[in-house]
Structure 1
Amino acid sequence: MLKSILSSLFVIVAFLLQAQTYYVFVGAYVPNAADQGINVYVLDANTGQLQHKSLCPNQLNPSYLNISPNGKYLYAATEARVPKGGSVSSYVFDSISGKLTFINKQISGGENPVYVSVHKSGQWVVNANYSEASVSAYSVNANGSLNPPSQVLQYTEGSKVVQDRQAIAHTHSCVFSPKYDQVIVPDLGADKLRIFNFDPKAKEPLSPANPDGQASPAGSGPRHFAFHPNQKFAYCIEEMSGTVSAYRYKKGKLSSIQNIPAHPQEITTGFSGADIHASPDGRFLYASNRGNENNIAIYAIHPGKGTLTNVGYQTTFGNHPRNFTLDPTGKFLLVANMLSNSIVVFKRDVQTGLLSKVSMLEGILSPSCLKVRAYQN
């Protein structure tokens, strides 16, 4: 009887997987917009192979991407590398044809927008600018287009611990809290996790929380941030010190519980932490290292304490893993090797957390961001 039930469940799961298409959106650094844009691939949910589906061309440096909750719209941080020239762009996605179409763009409030996040309502987009250390909020129209920024909050003072990198503030990402009532903003230049309250009904939705942040280790350079699926813990990859900090998150406040190396003991210089994500099952945390390493650090997460134990490192088979992501099921982990122009897909062992390469695409110009979403056929 049990065997029959399990067999039936397997058939149902297999059918559901076949009934979905897993699209992969690839942002990139393409300073000559005529070269490329945003590429769209299909991820085979069984094999991990990637097949090219479409290209939204002539997009300048769509370096970081995010998707609306309904999957219909995509937003990109588009760097210009000229003063006040950065922008945030919006696109509409047709999941039947697999085509992405540009809608409009608005100024970002800086030259180096590096991160965008979308509110659960789909009615707000938040952006972080690195060079000017500012955070911008945009209201979204019914057709997915962006209005001019409703708010731009700018910061100047850096920690000055590492003078050439921290003379001024550098906001590097902006992540909504699990309830979407706050935004966490790692500031690499200030060694601080800035915390903003977010009111989606307000014309200017962002306001500094009280207290307005959590200090990071001196000279660490906090970069990217991820919440645990249980919403009780959170993790930050620190670019300059090659470390990961673990936090408890309670009543809108962060409290430090651990700081752990993201690199093997034999690596002593050249740290360049980049991206960080927890697995959907909440059992493992992954962090990417560029610089002298080019690997993914793998940690087991203590279910009750949220603390981390390193269980291994996985080479990314490329150079400069600026960004990576996991598919919604947690079966695959995909890495963008920006300086070696490749995307590598790993299968994830759900019991050990370890990774094994299943496919690799080469010749993709400077991939910098990957987003995966399942769409019903």
Structure 2
Amino acid sequence: MNFLKTSLLICCLCIFCKSKAQDKFDLLIGTYTNGTSTSEGIYVYTFDSETGTLEYKNEVKGIDNPSYIAISPDHKNIYAISESGGESQVYAYKYDSSTGKLTFTNKESAGGQGPCYVSVDKTGSYVFTANYGSGSLAAVPLMKDGSLGSSVQEIYNKGNIIDGKEGASRMHSVVMSPDNNYLFAPNLGIDKIGVYHFDSKASSKPLTPAEPEFVNLAPGSGPRHFVFHPNGKYAYVIQELDGGITSFDYHAGKLSPKQTVSILPPDFKGKFGAADIHISPDGKFLYGSNRIDINEIVIYNIDENTGNLTFVGRQSSMGRIPRNFVIDPTGNFLLVANQDTNNIIVFSRNQKTGLLTPTDISLKIDRPVCLKFVY
């Protein structure tokens, strides 16, 4: 009996310790390093999801403009795009979660110019890049050790024909479907979302155009970032140029548009640029960011039965150009990276109403443009 009690006590203590460990997460911060910026690469901080506090942990230098970051499914490797013109590349790092140390593994071509987004498939077989400058996406194979392979598949989206000339093509994100069978690629320049079937077992060229290859959005809308609902039934895209968020029903590679809402205040006449979009871990609320003359996070309730959006409120980002933001894994906090005011602001999040409240916690860092939690 004493042995059983002791075993039970040890088991409970282990569960308690594991639970407590999950209150803290590593936060990776990608930055712009060019111009007058004092940032030198990717920074790692420990985030406490009970208090909202941030503590410096580590950093890695030697990468130009790591403006977007992706994490391997096993959390052992980090991938970052280097947004550096014609020499644009994607970098691979080994990641030590105990120290936050990133150890350079190798780098490969990003498959185009001006990459602005990187993601990893759910099996850890391929990395995908969205190349804004060249209007292309790429699939880069991953080796068993997490390093990048050299057999890069590039897919270019042709620009719209305007007055007999090809217009700009501006790839802005690459997002894998919940079942890992399709890649979705919003292109701001052509107002379409590309859809590609993905074969994770292919040794090269894992992407083939779906039928149809594109989902058309309103002319001039500028689709940017794309997100799936946790239930896998709905998807949403934020549109940089018209300030809209379009919702879709999703099934087996097919997007069916059903609603578009505007994140702009009524009668707003200034300049704007919608940017990032995320859904709370419980799937009840959607958040979108806006920039330039109006710097804020806009909040919507998600109808659990239809996926439709209902406006809840808006919150100043407490800075300028909130290019990227993230919700912590517990749903207690939302962190905003304000690119031009060089700060990251921590907001507490009411999980019942979805509303945000500024805390007195912030982090001063030059030109933060990507926030990713490791969990």
TM-score in terms of structure 2 length: 0.92
- By how many angstroms is 1:167 displaced? 2.3
- By how many angstroms is 1:106 displaced? 0.5
Residue of structure 2 equivalent to 1:7:
none
Residue of structure 2 equivalent to 1:225:
226
Choose which of 150, 157, 160 in structure 2 pairs with 1:158.
160
Say if 1:125 and 1:311 are closer, same or farther in 2 by CA, change over 3 A.
same
Amino acid at match of 1:176: M
How far apart, CA to CA, are the structure 2 residues paired with 1:12 and 1:371?
28
How far apart, CA to CA, are the structure 2 residues paired with 1:276 and 1:352?
18
The reply to whether residue 294 of structure 1 matches residue 326 of structure 2 is no
Say if 1:314 and 1:159 are closer, same or farther in 2 by CA, change over 3 A.
farther
Residue of structure 2 equivalent to 1:111:
113
Say if 1:35 and 1:287 are closer, same or farther in 2 by CA, change over 3 A.
closer
How far apart, CA to CA, are the structure 2 residues paired with 1:233 and 1:160?
33
Residue of structure 1 equivalent to 2:29:
26
How far apart, CA to CA, are the structure 1 residues paired with 2:38 and 2:103?
16
Residue of structure 2 equivalent to 1:247:
248
Mapped contact 2:39–2:367 kept (Cα < 8 A) = no
User: Residue 62 of structure 1: SS of its match in structure 2?
Assistant: coil
Q: Cα deviation per residue 1:165-196 (whole Å; 9 max; x = unaligned)?
A: x9221110000000010000000000001101
How far apart, CA to CA, are the structure 2 residues paired with 1:305 and 1:45?
31
The reply to whether residue 190 of structure 1 matches residue 222 of structure 2 is no
How far apart, CA to CA, are the structure 2 residues paired with 1:24 and 1:140?
23
Amino acid at match of 1:42: T
Residue of structure 1 equivalent to 2:3:
none
- By how many angstroms is 1:282 displaced? 0.6
Aligned length: 360
Residue of structure 1 equivalent to 2:371:
370
How far apart, CA to CA, are the structure 2 residues paired with 1:92 and 1:252?
32
User: Residue 340 of structure 2: SS of its match in structure 1?
Assistant: helix
Mapped contact 1:328–1:373 kept (Cα < 8 A) = no
The reply to whether residue 146 of structure 1 matches residue 148 of structure 2 is yes
- By how many angstroms is 1:362 displaced? 4.1
Mapped contact 1:34–1:57 kept (Cα < 8 A) = no
User: Residue 245 of structure 2: SS of its match in structure 1?
Assistant: strand
The reply to whether residue 42 of structure 1 matches residue 70 of structure 2 is no
Residue of structure 2 equivalent to 1:201:
201
Mapped contact 2:228–2:235 kept (Cα < 8 A) = yes
How far apart, CA to CA, are the structure 1 residues paired with 2:226 and 2:38?
33
User: CA RMSD for the aligned pairs?
Assistant: 2.1
Amino acid at match of 2:140: Y
Mapped contact 2:49–2:330 kept (Cα < 8 A) = no
Q: Cα deviation per residue 1:259-281 (whole Å; 9 max; x = unaligned)?
A: 10011113234120000011110
Amino acid at match of 2:197: N
Say if 1:159 and 1:71 are closer, same or farther in 2 by CA, change over 3 A.
farther
Correspondence 1:269-308 to 2 at 5 A: 269-308=270-309
Correspondence 1:65-76 to 2 at 5 A: 65-76=69-80
Amino acid at match of 2:260: N
Say if 1:245 and 1:145 are closer, same or farther in 2 by CA, change over 3 A.
same
Amino acid at match of 2:196: F
| Structure 2, unaligned runs of 5 or more | 1-12
Say if 1:345 and 1:14 are closer, same or farther in 2 by CA, change over 3 A.
farther
The worse-fitting range, judged by mean Cα deviation, of 85-94 and 267-276 is 267-276
Residue of structure 2 equivalent to 1:56:
60
User: Residue 213 of structure 1: SS of its match in structure 2?
Assistant: strand
- By how many angstroms is 1:26 displaced? 0.2
Amino acid at match of 2:180: Y
